Amino acid sequence: MNIIAPEALGISSERLSLINRRLQAYVDKEQAAGFVTLVARDGEVAHFEACGWRDAENALPMERDTIFRIYSMTKPITSIALMMLYEEGAFQLFEPVSRYIPAFGNSKVLTGFGYMGAQYAAQSPPMTIHHLLTHTAGLSYGFFFDTPIEQMYRDSILRSETATLAEKIVGLAELPLCFQPGSGWNYSYATDVCGYLVQVLADRPFEDFLQQRIFQPLGMVDTAFHCPADKLDRFAKLYQHDVGSGAFHEYTGAPHIPAQDFTQPASAPSGGGGLVATTSDYWQFAKMLHHEGELNGTRIIGRKTLEYMTRNHIAPDLLPLEIGLGKLPGQGFGLGFSVVMDAAQTGVLNSDGNYGWSGAAATNFWVDPQEQLVGIIMTQLMDNMLPFQQDFRALVYQALDE
């Protein structure tokens, strides 16, 4: 990868060097194993560095070509794939999901409990594809413990290691909705449904569509739904943050996100969180976004389509967004991306119009059209309570000279 002198891009190399110094401190304190970070401006990379360990126990260093579980950073890729089909006239955004996945026509909304048990209501309005892309469909994840629906998710076929994608999505449709579609925002399996919609609409396996229409054209050679045997030496170990001690230890699974074997092909490729990738691969995807949907002469998504996807689609009365107990002040949500609406409210250096997303193992990326800037941070730390994502973003912005 060609790396440009930061000063040529209006960035101070001296101030940019603070990124590694700060992240190395987390490694030295044994709070995190290691990181890979990338900063680009005007489509050129100014910083691409690794620090710490991809496998701390065996003293294997983090490398720039380390492969990571990107979890929910899969969502923007899946959303782009579905919108590619929208551009081809395969569906309309406000069509009912049941038109293409009939099982969702029978999904009921849990409204409460009476003396006879759970009470349900019919969908009103029907769940649409737009609801899926914006996480307003009434679906959930089974990550939390605040409603009986969460336990239903944990007890369902969604946790099966052998069920197919079609079987899981049909099983999801049998679970009750948390609220009427469009009346709330809830982070959920909605993007997994989007992945299955790609499979149905394109009439080919979801993973094949991604490979043929996105990964190959963009040169994302290490991005897939598992890490094959010949690349396992580059696959980072997954760790977990211990809130009590502040240290990290190997991740063994938890009720909200069970341990997942990424070394074997997935029986049900997850459009919401199933991909592995390198930092340079994800840079290819982010670079395409930065270039308004086109890269190296190949257009992946239309400029106006991407513009539409990266605007806020959430009604004011549903803001601020919340994931569990965590609020996302100053942010809305588009079609597969978070969108900064008021940079001053986000609590970190930012720009209005920024868009991006993160992953469960504390990976994160953003694209800033205003500053022509892209930032990517990769690590493998579940249940993270450390502010290194915020540190990284602040250190990137403080380095801008022009």
Q: Which residues contact 39 (CB under 8 A, 6 or more apart)?
A: 11, 16, 19, 45, 46, 47, 48, 373, 374, 375, 376, 396, 399
Residue pair 215/55 in contact by the 8 Å Cβ criterion: no
Q: Rounded mean pLDDT of 302-315?
A: 98
Using one digit for the tens of pLDDT, what is the confidence trace for 63-91? 999 999 999 999 999 999 999 999 999 99
Domain ranges across the chain = 65-373
For 369-395, b/e burial (b = at least 16 CB within 10 A) is bebebbbbbbbbbbbbebebbebbbbb
Q: Which pLDDT score is estimated for 256?
A: 63
Residue 94's alpha-carbon distances to 9, 77, 133, in angstroms, are: 42, 21, 11
Pairing of strands 364-368, 355-358: antiparallel
The C-alpha angle 195, 165, 111, rounded to 5 degrees, equals 80
CA 331 to chain CA centroid, nearest Å = 15
Number of H helices, E strands in the chain: 12, 19
- 129 three-state secondary structure: helix
Model pTM? Answer: 0.97
The size of the chain, in residues, is 402
**Residue 215: pLDDT above 80?**
yes
Q: What percent of the chain has pLDDT over 70?
A: 99
What is residue 112's predicted lDDT score, i.e. its pLDDT?
Answer: 87
d(CA 347, CA 360): 20
How does pLDDT run across 23-73, given as a tens digit for each residue?
999 999 999 999 999 999 999 999 999 999 999 999 999 999 999 999 999
Q: What is the pLDDT of residue 325?
A: 73
Q: Which residue has the higher pLDDT, 152 or 246?
A: 152
Residue 39: closest CA among 62, 19, 63: 19
User: Lowest mean pLDDT: which of 17-31, 114-128, 172-186, 241-255?
Assistant: 241-255
Burial class of residue 234 in the structure, from the number of CB atoms within 10 Å of its CB (0-12 exposed, 13-18 middle, 19+ buried) = middle
Measured CA to CA, the distance from residue 378 to residue 66 in angstroms comes to: 9
Average pLDDT of the chain to the nearest whole number: 96
Cα–Cα distance between 339 and 80 in angstroms, integer? 15
Span 212-227, mean pLDDT? 98
* 269, pLDDT greater than 70: yes
Residue 118 clears pLDDT 90, i.e. is over it: no
Residue 392 scores a pLDDT above 70: yes
Dump strand ranges (E) for 289-347.
294-295, 298-299, 321-323, 326-328, 331-333, 338-340
Residues 97, 215: Cα–Cα separation, whole Å:
27
CB 120 within 8 A of CB 111: yes
Given a cut of 80, whether residue 254 has pLDDT beyond it is no
Per-residue pLDDT, averaged over 177-183, amounts to: 98
Rounded mean pLDDT, 247-268: 84
Per-residue confidence (pLDDT) for residue 144, from 0 to 100 = 84
Give the pair of three-digit tokens for residue 130. Answer: 């737009």
State residue 255's pLDDT score.
Answer: 62
Name the residue among 36, 25, 142 with its Cα closest to residue 361: 36
Q: What is the mean pLDDT of residues 113-127?
A: 89
Choose the CATH number for 65-373 among 3.20.20.70, 3.40.710.10, 3.10.20.310, 3.20.20.450. Answer: 3.40.710.10
For residue 195, is pLDDT > 90? yes
User: How far apart (Å, rounded) are the C-alpha atoms in residues 62 and 24?
Assistant: 12
Higher pLDDT, 373 or 325: 373
Instruction: Spell out the residues 6+ positions from residue 88 whose beta carbon is closer than 8 angstroms to its own.
Output: none
Q: What is the C-alpha to C-alpha distance for residues 379 and 364, in angstroms, rounded to an integer?
A: 9
pLDDT given for residue 253 in this prediction: 78
* Residue 357 to residue 171: CA distance in whole angstroms: 27
Dig out the tokens for 134 from the structure. Answer: 């914006």
Helix residue spans in 88-234 (DSSP H): 129-134, 148-154, 165-173, 190-202, 206-210, 216-218
In this predicted structure, the answer to whether residue 306 has a pLDDT above a threshold of 90 is yes
114 pLDDT more than 80:
no
Percentage of the chain beyond pLDDT 90 is 91
- With beta carbons less than 8 A apart as the criterion, state whether 168 and 268 touch: yes
Residue indicated by tokens 């979890």:
71
Q: For position 353, what pLDDT does the model report? A: 98
